[in-house]
A and B are shown apart, each in its own frame.
Chain A
Amino acid sequence: MGLFLFLLKRIMGLVPTFFGITLISFLVMHLAPGEPMSLQANFNPKMTPEMRQRLRAQYGLDKPLYVQYAKWLKGLVHLDLGRSFSPDRRKVWDKIKERLPVTILINVLSMALILVISIPLGVKAAVRQNSLFDQVTTVLVFLAYAAPAFWLALLLMLFFGIELNLLPVSGLHSLMGYEQMGALEKIWDWTRHLILPVFVSAIGGLAGFSRYTRSSMLEVLRQDYITTARAKGLPERAVIYRHALRNALLPLITILGLSIPGLIGGSVIFESIFAIPGVGQLMWSAVMARDYPVLMGNLVIVSILTLLGNLLADIGYAAVDPRIRTGIQSEE
Chain B
Amino acid sequence: MEAYSAVQMDGPERSRFFSTFFRLCGNPLTLSGLIIVGILVFTAIFAPVLAPYDPQKIDTYHVLEPPCSAHLLGTDGLGRDCLSRLIYGSRISLLVGFVAVGIATFVGTVLGAIAGYYGKWVDSLIMRFVDIMLCFPTIFLIMAVIAFLEPSIWNIMIVIGLTGWMGVARLVRAEFLSLKKRDFVLAARISGASDLQIVFSEILPNAIAPILVSATLGVGGAILTESALSFLGIGVQPPTPSWGNMLTEGKDNLEIAWWLSVFPGLAILITVLGYNLLGEGLRDFFDPRKKG
Contact = CB atoms under 8 A, between A and B. Distances in A.
Partners in one complex: yes
Interface string A290-312: 10000100110011001100100
Interface stretch (B50-58, B77-85, B184-192, B266-274): B266-274
A4 B251 CA distance: 53
A222 B273 CA distance: 29
Interface stretch (B16-24, B41-49, B132-140, B200-208): B132-140
A213 B223 CA distance: 25
Nearest to A306: B135
Most chain A CB within 10 A, of B129, B148, B174, is at: B148
Contacts of B220: 145-146
A207 B277 CA distance: 11
Interface residues of A toward B: which range? 35 or more
Contacts, number: 141
Nearest to A20: B132
A146 B231 contact: no
A268 B139 contact: yes
Interface of chain A: mostly helix, strand, loop or mixed: helix
A288 B137 contact: no
Interface string B254-292: 110000010001001111110011001000000001000
Contact of A287 (B147, B173, B255, B273): B147
A143 B137 contact: no
A145 B228 contact: no
A158 B273 contact: no
Given A135-B29, A222-B289, A258 B170 contact: no
A254 to B, nearest CB: 11
Interface of A: 16-17, 20-21, 24-25, 28-29, 32-34, 135, 138-139, 142-143, 145-151, 154-155, 158, 207, 211, 218-219, 222, 258, 261-262, 264-266, 268-269, 272, 283-284, 287-288, 290, 295, 298-299, 302-303, 306-307, 310, 331-332
B228 A151 contact: no
B276 A154 contact: no
A269 B280 contact: no
21 contacts: A21-B136, A24-B136, A25-B141, A29-B148, A33-B149, A135-B29, A138-B277, A142-B276, A143-B269, A147-B268, A148-B231, A265-B137, A265-B139, A266-B139, A284-B232, A287-B140, A287-B144, A302-B140, A303-B137, A306-B135, A307-B135
